[in-house]
Homo-oligomer: A and B are copies of this chain.
Amino acid sequence: MDPTSLIGATSIIVAGLCTSLGCLAPAIAEGRAVATALTSLAQQPDASATITRTLFVGLAMIESTAIYSFVVSMILIFANPFWNAAIAEVAAK
């Protein structure tokens, strides 16, 4: 296995797994938060403003961890320093 394709194949595998695994927990957590928000709304309709605002802050916080993983995947696909080094090494031969 030559170095270039090793780096390429590794980047593909990790980019895919990083996004798919890294999105599991945020999705579950968001589902839980939304579900609790709906229960709370049904129980205390008068506090809907506070509940909705807290829900949105919380969703943004949770979504941030999904975005960390997505960012790492995008870096590995489109701005990968190891791939660039491997390409440069091939071009230099």
Contact = CB atoms under 8 A, between A and B. Distances in A.
Contacts of A54: 34, 37-38, 41, 52, 55
Interface in A46-93: 46-48, 50-52, 54-55, 58-59, 61-66, 68-70, 72-73, 75-78, 80-83, 85-87, 89
Contacts of A31: 25-26, 28-33, 58, 62
A8 B58 contact: no
16 contacts: A3-B5, A12-B76, A16-B73, A19-B20, A23-B25, A24-B24, A28-B28, A30-B62, A30-B65, A32-B32, A33-B35, A34-B36, A34-B59, A44-B45, A52-B54, A72-B77
